[in-house]
Amino acid sequence: MPIMKIPVNVHKRLPPSWVQCFQKFKGCHAGQKLDGLAKLKQYFRYFGYINISSINFTDNFDDDLELALKTYQLNFNLNTTGELDEPTLKHIVRPRCGVADIINGSSSMNSGKSSSKSSFHLHTVSHYSFFPYAPRWPANKRELTYAFSPENQLSDSVKVVFSRAFDRWSVVIPLNFTETSSFYSADIRIAFFSGDHGDGEPFDGALGTLAHAFSPPNGRFHLDNDENWMIDTEITPSQSAFDLESVAVHEIGHLLGLGHSSIEEAIMYPSISPGMRKVALAGDDIQGIQVLYGSNPNYNGSTASSTQERETSGSGDLVLGPLWGLTLLSAIGLISLVL
Ligand SMILES: [Zn+2]
Ligand SMILES: [Zn+2]
């Protein structure tokens, strides 16, 4: 169904099977064996935490799984227990971007920052990351075009959401983005798909992975058509649909060369909850993207935003504003419902 028909009445969909399956692992730790742990290992391999090509994972909680879990906990500012404790499981089932946190074994996010957990004082360590070898659009290409898949027949009100999302980035770097009607020759090609769509990264239905985008200069930007997307959450807040602009700003970060960040307030943080609107670049995002492209000459902002000044190195230290608290609570509520 084309997105412009969604969501007048947001309907509840069943979560993907892995969400239902993972909650039974609560308290599971190394040395145990539980039906379905192989699926969890596939999840961790998908997002880069297990770097093994095996297609036949066992249901044993082995060393590989424990290491993956600890790295995941480090990346998401959770206590690195190496066990499937409740906060970790709640995090694993949070909807997120389909791009891996660790690509080809290269560490990124917190797990690649050796000092990030060692001190407890306020600091300004950057947590942005790049894809391996830091690909970016070439220096002679400062005017990028984007186009929407003709098959999606998106309305102008949806297209303008993407335009606003591109503007968030062009304000801080010397790149311009222009819509073109020529889908196959555009630098950036935006499409909504359901399930398997031919690039080896199938979508998984409602919740789970929401979208993914490829590193420069690939330009493919795909969104899961089975999500409940909202385009006007600033006017009509929703607790059960995903804010399209928030996800678009994140995926454009990938299209430009940014990987994921461990800073929860950063646009490049991998997870987002239904109803959450997060469209403003954080200092971490701005610092990262300006390393790749330099600053827009007209940009006067400081890259040391309040976000980074508040960020501390311990786990769970981020200061959440009232809105974040609400959305986090509602996300937890939703997860409890679906579990
Ligand atoms: Zn992402
Ligand atoms: Zn895709």
Amino acid at 215: S
Ligand closest to CA 195: 2
Residue among 248, 254, 278 at smallest CA distance from 266: 278
Half-sphere exposure in the Cβ direction for 267 (13 Å, CA)? 27
Instruction: Find the radius of gyration of the CA atoms of the chain.
Output: 19
Distance from Cα 247 to the centre of ligand 1, integer Å = 9
Q: Is 28 annotated as a binding residue?
A: no
Per-residue pLDDT, 300: 87
Ligand closest to CA 98: 1
Ligand closest to CA 250: 1
Per-residue pLDDT, 16: 58
Ligand closest to CA 99: 1
Distance from Cα 75 to the centre of ligand 1, integer Å = 13
Q: Is 11 annotated as a binding residue?
A: no
Per-residue pLDDT, 1: 38
Q: Is 260 annotated as a binding residue?
A: yes
Per-residue pLDDT, 114: 55
Q: Is 121 annotated as a binding residue?
A: no
Three-state SS at 188: strand
Q: What angle do CA 238, 244, 125 make, to 5 degrees?
A: 100
Per-residue pLDDT, 106: 77
- For residue 116, count other CB atoms closer than 10 A to its CB: 19
Copy the structure tokens of residue 11: 């309907």
Q: Is 227 annotated as a binding residue?
A: yes
Residue among 69, 67, 55, 56 at smallest CA distance from 25: 69
Distance from Cα 258 to the centre of ligand 1, integer Å = 9
Three-state SS at 222: strand
Distance from Cα 47 to the centre of ligand 2, integer Å = 15
* Full pLDDT tens readout for the chain, 339 residues: 345 443 333 334 545 556 667 878 888 889 999 988 998 999 999 999 998 876 789 999 999 999 999 999 999 999 999 999 999 999 998 999 999 999 887 767 887 775 444 444 444 567 899 999 999 999 999 999 999 999 999 999 999 999 999 999 999 999 999 999 999 999 999 999 999 999 999 999 888 999 999 999 999 999 999 999 999 777 777 778 999 999 999 999 999 999 999 999 999 999 999 999 999 999 999 999 999 999 999 998 865 444 433 333 333 222 222 323 223 333 333 333 333
Half-sphere exposure in the Cβ direction for 66 (13 Å, CA)? 14
- Whole-angstrom Cα distance, residue 268 to residue 263? 8
Per-residue pLDDT, 70: 96
Phi, psi of 177 (to 5 degrees): -125, 130
Q: Is 268 annotated as a binding residue?
A: yes
Residue 281 vs residues 48, 66, 171, 288: alpha-carbon distances, Å = 25, 33, 10, 11
Distance from Cα 223 to the centre of ligand 2, integer Å = 7
Q: Is 212 annotated as a binding residue?
A: yes
Per-residue pLDDT, 110: 80
What residue has token string 């420069």?
A: 216
Domains assigned to the chain = 129-318 (3.40.390.10)
From 251, 264, 265, 311, active-site residue: 251
Distance from Cα 84 to the centre of ligand 2, integer Å = 30
Query: How far, rounded to the nearest angstrom, does the alpha carbon of residue 105 sit from its chain's CA centroid?
Result: 18
Distance from Cα 22 to the centre of ligand 1, integer Å = 22
Amino acid at 28: C
Q: Each residue of 75-117: pLDDT tens digit? A: 999 999 999 999 999 999 899 999 999 988 776 788 777 544 4
Contact 101, 108 (CB under 8 A): yes
Distance from Cα 34 to the centre of ligand 1, integer Å = 30
Q: Is 199 annotated as a binding residue?
A: yes
311 as an active site residue: the answer is no
Q: Is the pTM of this model over 0.95?
A: no
Ligand closest to CA 254: 1
Q: Each residue of 23-80: pLDDT tens digit? A: 788 888 899 999 889 989 999 999 999 988 767 899 999 999 999 999 999 999 999 9
